[in-house]
Amino acid sequence: MTSLSTKHLLGIKDITLEDINLIFQTADNFKEVINRPIKKVPSLRDVTIANVFFENSTRTKLSFELAEKRLSADVINFSASSSSVKKGESLVDTVSNILAMKVDMVVMRHPNPGAHIHLARHVDCSIINAGDGAHEHPTQALLDAYSLRERVGDLKGLKILIVGDILHSRVALSNVFCLQKLGAEVRVCGPATLIPKHMESLGVKVMLNFEEALKWCDVVNMLRIQMERQDIQYFPTLREYTMQYGLSRELLYKVGKKDIVVMHPGPINRGVEITSDMADSEFSIILDQVENGVAIRMAVLYLLAGDASSN
Ligand code: CP
């Protein structure tokens, strides 16, 4: 197999295990490229990509831009806060105007779940979802699984715990889809108020007791509490949240855990969901996740560019 089964990357739910493996194989090649003294290849020369961000981002935006530049694409960056969206222009009109300037592909982050699905129905280019509200963040899940595979090998049968604000997390949902396709067992843990009701129907067991959940897992993926998406208070105080669900070395020792892989998609709130000591510990692959994001995004862009160059 040399091409993806889809024209867009809207979510992990829509792609196959073969697609994931092809992205990983392609990322292996690009990882080798970006570790050379000359980190650039001409693969996307003459392809123009727009990074359209309606929501803040550090890692995803920079990582896509770097991936595009490493592939020699022409890149334009759009930020909603300084655009005519402020004057009432619709999403489809905004992107259609960008495409009229002979742009071939769009990478978009949007606060509304499903915004990318809506856009893909109205425009004729490949769309890559860089995060849509609390729905999906497919390249994050791909880089997470890729980084984990690099650390532990085959993910089949691996026990992975996602902890924290599952309700508002696009990372959690995309990780569940991706890790299950790769044969891992995924469970979630957090306050009952921050766990969506449909989790069990996805084959994901809910654990409310963090100590018990830590004993069970091989890997723990700690999520940030997304205060900006919370309209009501879901737990009494942050201090109490940290006492019940914060990851620390003391807690690991208390539950008798000697070996674990610690992940976090960022941004980290040090001292809330994870101590600084654990974030920077020998268990942590957090910066590997960021590093691998560039190779994964190069792979996705490269594999979808076949459609782009035929526009
Ligand atoms: N992990 C992640 O999506 O981070 P940013 O919001 O900084 O892109």
Q: What is the mean pLDDT of residues 8-22?
A: 98
Rg of the chain in Å (alpha carbons): 19
Q: How far apart, in whole angstroms, are the C-alpha atoms of residue 131 and residue 297? A: 13
pLDDT in tens, 225-270: 987 877 778 888 899 999 999 999 999 999 999 999 999 999 999 9
| Residue found by looking up tokens 């779940």 in the block | 113
Domain boundaries, the chain: 12-136+290-310, 138-285
CA of 58 to the centre of ligand 1 (A): 6
- Per-residue confidence (pLDDT) for residue 157, from 0 to 100: 98
Supply the pLDDT for residue 226: 83
Distance CA 249, CA 260 (A): 11
CATH number of 12-136+290-310: 3.40.50.1370
By the 10 Å C-beta count (0-12 exposed, 13-18 middle, 19+ buried), 102 is classed as exposed
Q: How far is the CA of 1 from the centre of ligand 1 (A)?
A: 30
At 308 the pLDDT is 52
Q: Give the pLDDT of residue 252.
A: 96
In the chain, the amino acid numbered 140 is Q
Reduced to 3 states, what is the DSSP secondary structure of residue 52? Answer: strand
Closest Cα to atom 6 of ligand 1: 57
Q: Which two tokens stand for residue 132?
A: 């849509």
Superfamily of domain 138-285: Aspartate/ornithine carbamoyltransferase (3.40.50.1370)
Quick count: other Cβ atoms within 10 Å of Cβ 22?
A: 19
pLDDT bin (cut points 50, 70, 90) of residue 307 is low
CA of 60 from ligand 1 middle (Å) equals 5
6 is catalytic: no
Do the domains 138-285 and 12-136+290-310 match in fold? Answer: yes
Catalytic residue among 36, 87, 102, 258: 87
Residues 6 or more apart whose Cβ sits within 8 Å of residue 291 = none
Q: Who contacts 64 (Cβ-Cβ below 8 Å, separation ≥6)? A: 51, 107, 128, 130, 139, 297, 301
The H or E element that residue 49 is part of is strand 48-53
Nearest in space to 144 (alpha carbons), one of 60, 49, 203, 213: 60
3-state helix, strand, coil in the chain (%, to 5): 45, 15, 35
> Which atom of ligand 1 lies closest to the CA of 265?
1
- Answer whether 114's CB lies under 8 Å from 13's CB: no
Q: Which residues of 259-295 are buried (b: 16+ CB within 10 A; e: fewer)?
A: ebbbbbbbeeeeebbbbeebbebebbbbebbbbbbbb
